Amino acid sequence: MTIYLDNAATSHPKPPAVYESLANCLQIAGANPGRASHKMARLAQQIIEDTRLKLARLINASSLNQIVFTFNATDALNMAIKGILSPGDHVITSRLEHNSVLRPLQNLAQKDISLTFIDFSPDGLINPKDIEKAIKPETKLVVITAASNVLGTLQPVAEIGAVARKNNLLFLVDAAQVLGVMPVNVEEMKIDLLACSGHKGLMGPPGTGLLYVGNRAQVKSWREGGTGGDSLSIFQPSLLPTGLEAGTHNLLGIAGLSKALDYLLKETIEKIRDQELSLMMCLLQGLREIPEVTLYGTLDLKQKVGVQSFSVTGYSSDEVAAILDEHFDIAVRGGLHCAPLTHQVLGTAPDGLIRVSVGAFNTIADIETFVLAIKEIVKG
Ligand SMILES: Cc1ncc(COP(=O)(O)O)c(C=O)c1O
C-alpha cells in the first residue's frame, strides 16, 4: 500500500465515517438544501448548518453565520481579497504566500491596488515589526499565511493580528496548513478573515473550504445568484452567509466534512499535534544523518507544522519524488509547491524542493521506510 506523505496538498486517508457519509448522504438527503420546505431539503439544510456550527466552534467565531462555505482555500482567498479591496488600497503580504494569495493580489495590482511583500528570516519566520514598518495611510489589509506550505513554519499570527488591529487594518489569514493541526481562535488572534481548505488538516473531502468573515469586514459578493431566500429581489442579499454562497452547495463534501470534524473533535487537535510531532522528530533525526540531504527552514518542531522540505545532492526534486513513487510506492511532492517567491528567497527556484508532509494516519514505520528509501537513493 502507498505510504502517503503528501498531506499538505490534501490529507489522505480520511476518517472512516467520511467515506460512509459520502456513500449514503445523497441517498437520504439528496435534495437541494435551503431551496424547499420538504423533509429531504430540510435534512440537507440541517447537515449544512450543523457543519457550519462545528466550524464556528472550532475557530471560536461568535456566530455560525460568519462561516461561509467555499470550494477550497483558493476560492475563499479570492472571495476575501476581491471582496475587500478597492482601487487605491494598499496591501501588506509576505514572500511566504501561496499562489492562491499571490495571484489574486497580482491581478489587483493591475487595477490600482499596491502591494508590499515582507521578507522572512532564514528560519522561515515573518517579523511582525516588519509589517508595522510597512503600513501606509492607504493600507487596508494584511494577508499572511499561518504556516508556510513549503517550510511548515508557524507564523506569529496573534502578534501580527495585534499590529493590524492597533492600526485599524483588516487581517486575513490563510489557515490552509494549520486548521485541524493547531488551535486557532479568531477572537484572541484578532483575525478578521480566515480562509481554509476543508480537505487538508480538517480531513474532509476535496471541494470543501471555508471563509470566516468577522464583524469588522464587509466582503462584497463576487458571485451572485440563487440563495433560496429573498427571492423577490433581483439583488444579491448582503446578509451572511447566504450573501456569499450563491448557487447549490457541495452538500456531499460538506456532509463528509461534518463527519471529519466529529472525528477531529473526538481525537482532539492536541493529540493529533502530538502524534505529528513524534513523526516529525523521527523524520528529522533520520534525514539529518544523511550528508547529501539539505533541510530547509527551522528544525525547531515547536515552530512548525508537519511539513519538511529538503534537497538531495545530485538529484532534482522531481527526480527524487518520481523514484520514491515508482520504486518505493511513497507519495511526496517535488517542485515549487505553488510558492514561487518563497523559492526565490531560499534560492531553490526553479527546481524547487522535495516536500514531506505527515498526517494524522501516518505511523513511525512509514517515516522509517521513507528515510531508508532516501538512504538507498543517495547510494544510487
Ligand atoms: C498555504 C496554502 N494556501 C492555500 C492553498 C490552496 O488550497 P486549496 O487547494 O484548498 O485551494 C494551499 C494548498 O496547498 C496552501 O498550502
Ligand 1 atom index nearest CA of 337: 14
pLDDT at 154 over 90: yes
Q: Do domains 3-12+268-379 and 16-266 have the same CATH topology?
A: no
CA neighbor of 309 nearest in space, from 173, 199, 153, 156: 153
Whole-number percent of the chain with pLDDT over 90: 92
Alpha-carbon distance 47 to 25, whole Å?
9
- How far is it between the farthest Cα atoms of the chain? 71
Which residue's CA is minimally distant from atom 2 of ligand 1?
176
Q: Cβ–Cβ contacts within 10 Å for residue 26, how many?
A: 14
Chain centre to alpha carbon of residue 2: 24
Q: Does residue 380 carry a pLDDT above 90?
A: no
* Cα 138 from Cα 166, distance rounded (Å): 15
Give alpha helix (H) positions in 30-122. 39-59, 73-84, 99-109
Q: Does domain 16-266 have CATH number 3.40.50.10140?
A: no
Q: What is the mean pLDDT of the chain?
A: 96
Q: How many CA atoms lie within 13 A of 175 on its CB side?
A: 31
Question: Does 168 have pLDDT greater than 90?
Answer: yes
Residue 36: pLDDT band (50, 70, 90) is: confident
What is d(CA 293, CA 374) in angstroms, rounded to the nearest whole number?
A: 9
In this predicted structure, what is the pLDDT of residue 34?
A: 80
- At 231 the pLDDT is 87
In this prediction, residue 120 has a pLDDT band, given cuts at 50, 70 and 90, of very high
Question: What is the per-residue pLDDT for 28?
Answer: 86
Pocket of ligand 1 (CB under 6 A): 8-9, 72-74, 98, 100, 145, 149, 174, 176-177, 197, 209
User: Ligand 1 pocket: which of 200, 333, 337 to mutate (most atoms <8 Å of CB)?
Assistant: 200
pLDDT of residue 130: 98
User: Which DSSP string do the residues of 70-94 spell out, in sequence order?
Assistant: ESSHHHHHHHHHHHH--TT-EEEEE
Whole-number pLDDT of residue 70: 98
Ligand 1: centre distance to CA 331 (Å): 18
Q: Which residues pair with 293 in a beta bridge?
A: 312
Q: What is the mean pLDDT of residues 215-233?
A: 91
What integer is the mean pLDDT of 337-356?
Answer: 96
> Which residues contact residue 288 at a Cβ distance below 8 angstroms, ignoring those fewer than 6 apart?
295, 299
Q: What is the mean pLDDT of residues 273-280?
A: 97
State in Å: Cα 190 to ligand 1 middle: 22
In the block, residue with C-alpha cell 482555500: 73
- CA of 214 relative to ligand 1 center, distance in Å: 21
Task: Give the span between the Cα atoms of 142 and 136, in whole angstroms.
Answer: 12
Nearest CA to ligand 1 atom 7: 73
- Atom index in ligand 1 nearest the CA of residue 200 equals 10
Q: State yes or no: pLDDT of 221 exceeds 90.
A: yes
What is the pLDDT, as a whole number, of residue 30?
84
For range 204-232, the mean pLDDT:
94
Amino acid at 336: L
Report in angstroms the alpha-carbon separations of 161 from 99, 109, 144, 167: 22, 24, 10, 10
* Domain-wise residue ranges, the chain: 3-12+268-379, 16-266
The answer to whether the beta carbons of residues 171 and 191 sit under 8 Å apart is: yes
Range of weakest confidence among 3-12, 21-30, 46-55, 204-213: 21-30
Using CA atoms of 64, 35, 207, 176 in order, give the dihedral in degrees to the nearest 10: -20
pLDDT of residue 346: 96
* Distance from residue 72's CA to the centre of ligand 1 (Å): 8
Residue 79 Cα to ligand 1 midpoint, Å, equals 14
| Nearest ligand 1 atom to alpha carbon 72 | 10
For ligand 1, the distance from its centroid to the CA atom of residue 73, given in whole angstroms, is 6
Give the position of cell 504556516: 147
Asked whether the predicted pLDDT for residue 351 surpasses 90, the reply is: yes
Q: How far is the CA of 35 from the centre of ligand 1 (A)?
A: 31
CATH class entry, domain 3-12+268-379: alpha beta
Half-sphere exposure of 125 (CA within 13 A, CB side): 17
Look at residue 33 and tell me whether its pLDDT is greater than 90. Answer: no
pLDDT of 31 > 90? The answer is no
pLDDT tens column, 59-108: 999 999 999 999 999 999 999 999 999 999 999 999 999 999 999 999 99
Please choose from 78, 154, 338, 342 the residue to mutate so as to test ligand 1's pocket, defined by most ligand atoms within 8 A of CB: 338
Between strands 170-174 and 139-145, the pairing is parallel
Instruction: Find the 74 Cα to ligand 1 centroid distance in Å.
Output: 6
Closest by CA position to 78, among listed 64, 88, 68: 68
pLDDT band at 230 (very low <50, low <70, confident <90, very high): confident
Q: Residue 229 pLDDT more than 90?
A: no
Lowest mean pLDDT, pick from 31-45, 128-142, 185-199: 31-45
Q: Residue 292 above 90 pLDDT?
A: yes
How many alpha carbons fall within 13 Å on the CB side of residue 154? Answer: 18
Give the pLDDT band of residue 164 (cuts 50, 70, 90): very high
Residue 20: what are its φ and ψ, rounded to 5°?
-60, -45
Q: Which three cell numbers stand for residue 329?
A: 510506492
Backbone angles phi, psi at 52, to 5 degrees: -60, -45
Q: What is the 3-state secondary structure (H, E, C) of 346-380?
A: HCCCCCCCEEEECCCCCCHHHHHHHHHHHHHHHHC
Neighbours of 118 (CB within 10 A): 21
Mean per-residue pLDDT, 336-358: 96
pTM: 0.97
